[in-house]
Amino acid sequence: MLAWLVREVASEERECGSCTLCCKLLHIPEFDAPAGIWCSQCDVKKGCKIHGNHPKQCKDFKCLWLLDVGLDIHRPDKSKMVMKFVKAHQDGVTQLQIYCNDGYPDAWKIPYVKAMIDKLTDSGGRTIIIYGDKRTAIGSRKVMKEIDGRILNEG
Ligand code: SF4
Ligand code: SF4
């Protein structure tokens, strides 16, 4: 992970609370739940109906907000987007993936996220903004030329 981000993830004191947005916006293979559809196990705005027995993928997942990126008011259900970093398996580039909720394609266009995208681009990373079936990539020319459908569909 990039050094400038590591400093921001030192504390893990946040809790999901009534946010369940990743249970909709991320793909959960165990329940055959495609991205953009609520997982069948989700009690929306309350939590997971099978908490404790939920898949490892869910247990391991921490969005950037949970890792202390952004302010309290930016919790995903309020900011209408879920963010995570991945290492693109094709070219090893650090990739910020931003999943925007239905009706909020521009949720990512807030100052702290735009600043993070700029910093990531300058550091040789890449950002993928995901809204429904649409994918928008942001990055330097060098990292953009490696992009194909596989990277865009990751996560
Ligand atoms: S999007 Fe983040 S804060 Fe919301 S439920 Fe998922 S991990 Fe928790
Ligand atoms: S199994 Fe539970 S934690 Fe995992 S996506 Fe479904 S509702 Fe969310």
Model confidence at 102: pLDDT above 80: yes
- Confidence grade of residue 2 (pLDDT, cut at 50, 70, 90): low
Q: Which of 23, 30, 31, 43 to mutate to test the pocket of ligand 2 (most atoms within 8 A of CB)?
A: 23
Contact 100, 131 (CB under 8 A): yes
Mean pLDDT over 107-119 rounds to 96
Contact 66, 16 (CB under 8 A): yes
**CB neighbours of 10 closer than 8 A, spacing ≥ 6?**
68
Residues 117, 137: Cα–Cα separation, whole Å: 11
Measured from the Cβ of residue 12, the count of other Cβ atoms closer than 10 Å reads 10
Q: Which ligand is nearest to the CA of 57?
A: 2
Measured from the Cβ of residue 61, the count of other Cβ atoms closer than 10 Å reads 16
Entry pTM: 0.88
Model confidence at 12: pLDDT above 70: no
User: 42 C-alpha vs ligand 2 centroid, how far in Å?
Assistant: 6
What is the per-residue pLDDT across 20-61, written as a single tens digit (0 to 9) for each?
A: 999 999 988 877 778 899 999 999 999 999 999 999 999 999
What is the per-residue pLDDT across 65-88, written as a single tens digit (0 to 9) for each?
A: 999 999 999 999 999 999 999 988
Q: CA–CA distance from 99 to each of 36, 52, 128, 140 (Å)?
A: 9, 25, 9, 21
Give me the pLDDT at residue 90, please: 79
